[in-house]
Chains A and B, each alone.
Chain A
Amino acid sequence: MIAELSLIVAYTFIFGSMYLGMALGFTITTGVLRVFNLAYGAIFLIAVYGTWMFWHDLGFGLIESIVLAIALVALFTYAVYQLVILRFAELEDYMLAALVAVFVIVEELIGWAYPEIVGVYIPTTIYNELVPFGEANIPGQYVVTAFVSLALLAIYLLFFIKTKNGFIMRAISQDMFAAKLVGVNFNRTFALAMIIASIPPAIVMLLISPIWALNPYIGWSVFTYAILVAVLGGLGNLKGSIMAAYIIGFIQASVGFLLDPRLMLLVALIVVMIVLIIRPKGLARAETIW
């Protein structure tokens, strides 16, 4: 039982931190732009398959390939902002449909270029040893991913608290109209928010890719966790997302080790639904990013 408890504590931290890293960008987009970016799942795919393309197909070094793939992710999100979000700004239903379409197009393109049988593997393992925790041993790469996620969160919090652009984004997230009154350049601020939001999920996905079997359709399952965290946390609120990520991490770890690993996502979804019935606006009701 002590071993199970150790595993639950360790994996609550690992899953929670990892989901937080995956949802960080989604929360920023929702908080600043007030847009439910349904193309967000494509970021995970472009990050890993982009790296694979640059590294395996085009012969770049691994680090160069990662940098190029992250640049490609940033370019993709900027294009989504300019071509979809701006264009359908007044037509939210059409915007959501267009964002899903963008995600599916990216997924199908990747599925066509790199079918599942290709067996994409990116050697981004930083620490390959087992890390002891109580009675349990945790794969080192999970621990690395969790700490990198937390480091990304810390960097982004510092950005929002200490920098001019971060401060302006917080102001917009609280009251877009009041921010317009003072001459804030919305296009520039929104484009910047979209781009910075695309980096954490790309990094987290690259770190987790040696552990999770990659396939062209993995974007949806990873995106599901990002949505769960963001919705449970209260859309667009980082404090809420932090709470939600660790709650979902705890549910997943508990169900996985005490019940049945196949029920991990199902139970998390049911619990989130129940919480949302009681608190429809999620855990943090403040309409602000921080």
Chain B
Amino acid sequence: MLKVSNLVKRFGGIIAVNDVSFKIEKGEIVGLIGPNGAGKSTLVNLISGFYFPDSGKIEFNGHDITKKRMNERAKLGIARTFQNPRVILNMTAHMNVLYAILGSPEGKKMTMTEAGAEAIYYLDLFGLLKKRDVLAGDLAIYELRLLELARALALKPKLLLIDEAMAGLNPAEADNVSKLINRIRKEFDLTIIWIEHVLKVLMKSAERVLVMHYGKLIADGKPEEVVRKPEVIEAYIGEEEV
């Protein structure tokens, strides 16, 4: 489904993503981990079209999307969430999901009423129905994370990129978000790339983990195998627990 080849992204003298290559098959749930500054978010930004690479190639379902813009990639079926949720704060939760539906290729064929009803469905799926008329700017961080996921899912993506969905959540909230991500992955037949800073969050869900360090991909494999690799342990020394 996704093929990343020799991807490079520089910011001045810093190489944030350094010759990274990997493939992801349809239906996989892949964890992307690494210490702070490893290049995880930059890699997701490159895949989602937020940045363009300096060199390398990104293919999605056989199409070269390297030079496609963010909105074009969204139309092809790549949706994402952010570490700091990027929703429209002056719009209600319902409107945030509604405009995602209207922006999607399927949404163009829908009436406002149909799109509105579908937005309700996604809000309900994430337990946000009671917050439908609340401005996004008035939602708690946990609710904002759920709203971002609801909006991303409303785009009917094939590939969902999740950037630190647990940041700022308490253990119960994090556990619930984790369960919801696993549920939507099964129900909507999603392929997921999921960034988390702490690997143990992904141990239950991810079938495969990519580890980045200083912009390079240093490990790729099953979570329980990856955490034993010396280079991964070394990368995390002095960082938080693995």
Q: Which A residues form the contact surface with B (CB < 8 A)? A: 162-164, 167-168, 170-171, 174-175, 177-186, 286-288
Q: Residues of B contacting A174 with CB < 8 Å?
A: 88-91
Q: Residues of B contacting A179 with CB < 8 Å?
A: 88, 99, 103
12 new A-B pairs (CB below 8 Å) besides A178-B87, A181-B86?
Answer: A164-B115, A167-B95, A167-B102, A167-B112, A168-B102, A171-B99, A174-B88, A178-B88, A182-B100, A182-B103, A183-B71, A183-B105
Q: Residues of A contacting B108 with CB < 8 Å?
A: 164
Taking a contact as CB atoms closer than 8 A, the residue among A170, A177, A182, A186 that contacts B155 in the complex is A182
- Tell me the B78-118 residues at the A interface (CB within 8 Å): 79-80, 86-91, 95, 98-100, 102-105, 107-108, 112, 115
Name the CB-closest residue of B to A286. B90
Q: Are B70 and A180 in contact (CB under 8 A)?
A: yes
- A174 and B98 alpha carbons, distance in the complex (Å): 14
Q: Are B90 and A181 in contact (CB under 8 A)?
A: no
- A209 and B148 alpha carbons, distance in the complex (Å): 51
Q: Does B3 contact A (CB under 8 A)?
A: no
**Measured between C-beta atoms, what is the minimum distance from B210 to chain A in Å?**
23
The interface size of chain B toward A, counting residues with CB under 8 Å, comes to 28
Name the CB-closest residue of A to B112. A164
Q: Residues of A contacting B72 with CB < 8 Å?
A: 183
Interface of A, secondary structure class, is: helix
Known: A167-B102, A183-B75, A185-B71. Is A178-B86 also a contact (CB below 8 A)?
yes
Q: Does B74 contact A (CB under 8 A)?
A: yes
Q: Please indicate which of the listed interface residues A177, A179, A183, A287 has the most CB atoms of chain B within 10 Å of its own CB.
A: A183
- A83 and B75 alpha carbons, distance in the complex (Å): 26
- A162 and B100 alpha carbons, distance in the complex (Å): 16
Q: Are B88 and A171 in contact (CB under 8 A)?
A: yes
**Measured between C-beta atoms, what is the minimum distance from B124 to chain A in Å?**
19
- A164 and B114 alpha carbons, distance in the complex (Å): 11
Interface of B, secondary structure class, is: helix
- A168 and B74 alpha carbons, distance in the complex (Å): 15
Name the CB-closest residue of B to A166. B112
**Measured between C-beta atoms, what is the minimum distance from A185 to chain B in Å?**
7
Q: Are B74 and A182 in contact (CB under 8 A)?
A: yes
**Measured between C-beta atoms, what is the minimum distance from A240 to chain B in Å?**
14
Q: Are A181 and B112 in contact (CB under 8 A)?
A: no
Q: Are A182 and B151 in contact (CB under 8 A)?
A: yes
Known: A164-B102, A168-B102. Is A181-B88 also a contact (CB below 8 A)?
no
- A272 and B112 alpha carbons, distance in the complex (Å): 39
- A167 and B91 alpha carbons, distance in the complex (Å): 11
- A186 and B151 alpha carbons, distance in the complex (Å): 19
**Measured between C-beta atoms, what is the minimum distance from A74 to chain B in Å?**
22
Q: Residues of B contacting A171 with CB < 8 Å?
A: 88, 91, 95, 99, 103
Q: Are A183 and B86 in contact (CB under 8 A)?
A: no
- Tell me the B102-147 residues at the A interface (CB within 8 Å): 102-105, 107-108, 112, 115
**Measured between C-beta atoms, what is the minimum distance from A188 to chain B in Å?**
11
- A249 and B217 alpha carbons, distance in the complex (Å): 65
Q: Residues of B contacting A175 with CB < 8 Å?
A: 86-89
Q: Residues of A contacting B155 with CB < 8 Å?
A: 182-183
Taking a contact as CB atoms closer than 8 A, the residue among B89, B90, B99 that contacts A182 in the complex is B99
Name the CB-closest residue of B to A161. B112
Q: Residues of A contacting B80 with CB < 8 Å?
A: 181
**Measured between C-beta atoms, what is the minimum distance from B44 to chain A in Å?**
13
Q: Residues of B contacting A288 with CB < 8 Å?
A: 90
Q: Residues of B contacting A167 with CB < 8 Å?
A: 95, 98-99, 102, 112
Name the CB-closest residue of A to B111. A164
- A146 and B195 alpha carbons, distance in the complex (Å): 57
- A163 and B108 alpha carbons, distance in the complex (Å): 11
Known: A174-B88, A181-B74, A182-B155. Is A168-B103 also a contact (CB below 8 A)?
yes
When A and B form their complex, which 7 residue pairs have the shortest distance between CB atoms, in order from nearest?
A183-B74, A182-B103, A182-B100, A171-B99, A183-B75, A184-B103, A175-B88
**Measured between C-beta atoms, what is the minimum distance from B162 to chain A in Å?**
14
Q: Please indicate which of the listed interface residues A167, A171, A178 has the most CB atoms of chain B within 10 Å of its own CB.
A: A178
Q: Please indicate which of the listed interface residues A171, A177, A181, A286 has the most CB atoms of chain B within 10 Å of its own CB.
A: A181
- A288 and B102 alpha carbons, distance in the complex (Å): 19
Q: Residues of A contacting B74 with CB < 8 Å?
A: 180-183
